[in-house]
Chain A
Amino acid sequence: AQSVTQLDSHVSVSEGTPVLLRCNYSSSYSPSLFWYVQHPNKGLQLLLKYTSAATLVKGINGFEAEFKKSETSFHLTKPSAHMSDAAEYFCVVSDNTNAGKSTFGDGTTLTVKP
């Protein structure tokens, strides 16, 4: 069984300040973890993925995430927010034994204030 919890439904930051979106997961096996971004009226775009290689994963648009097995966390960070980062973000866990099925978090809406 697998599950994912995004700890904040809304996060608001000022432009130029750091971003932290929190995600905890549960999985019976070594999981693959992903972060996606969704802009209004668009599909989900893959930001980054963890698949049991380096625990610090770098993604597109300056985002990165750190896999911490002891804390079962996979938090998404960015050093400096940009207005274009305003969107909804989804943390996703995939049990590698489950042939591609994934479990999605409920999403975190990021607001960036000028």
Chain B
Amino acid sequence: DVKVTQSSRYLVKRTGEKVFLECVQDMDHENMFWYRQDPGLGLRLIYFSYDVKMKEKGDIPEGYSVSREKKERFSLILESASTNQTSMYLCASSFLQGGQPQHFGDGTRLSIL
């Protein structure tokens, strides 16, 4: 089975902190994605990556950056956390070919105080 592992299930940080969310997949997928999920707003794509060191902005990249130094690992960085970044963050991965399903981790529920 595909395994997408997010490093933390719950995380509490303070405003202004630099926050790292880590995601690792074990299926040799080329694509990796970061979403945030908020009530009433559905899933919104923050960033995605289709190869090592490659990244593309999604729909809501402001306030976030990403890093992909190895194929299996995709990190989301909140440069200076703010309270409006309190959310559920979901990582996903898929093969590069179009039309492939994405496989999701269990999510990180992040609270910024």
Interface set of A (CB-CB < 8 Å, partner B)? 31-32, 34, 36, 41-46, 49, 51, 90, 92, 94-102, 104-107
Contacts and interface: CB of A to CB of B under 8 A. Distances in A.
Given A100-B50, A105-B42, A44 B104 contact: yes
B84 interface: no
Contacts of B50: 99-100
Interface of B: 4, 9, 30-31, 42-43, 45, 48, 50, 90, 92, 94-107, 109
Contacts of B42: 90, 104-107
19 contacts: A31-B99, A32-B100, A43-B4, A43-B105, A44-B102, A44-B104, A46-B103, A95-B98, A96-B98, A96-B99, A97-B98, A99-B50, A100-B50, A100-B94, A100-B98, A100-B102, A101-B45, A101-B48, A105-B42
A46 B45 CA distance: 18
B43 A49 contact: no
B103 A100 contact: no
A88 to B, nearest CB: 10
Contacts of A97: 98
Given A44-B92, A100-B31, A100-B94, 15 more contacts: A32-B98, A36-B104, A41-B106, A41-B109, A43-B105, A45-B104, A46-B101, A99-B96, A100-B50, A100-B95, A100-B97, A100-B98, A101-B48, A104-B43, A107-B42
Contacts of A107: 42
Nearest to A99: B98
Nearest to A102: B102
Nearest to B31: A100
A70 to B, nearest CB: 21
Given A43-B105, A107-B42, A100 B96 contact: yes
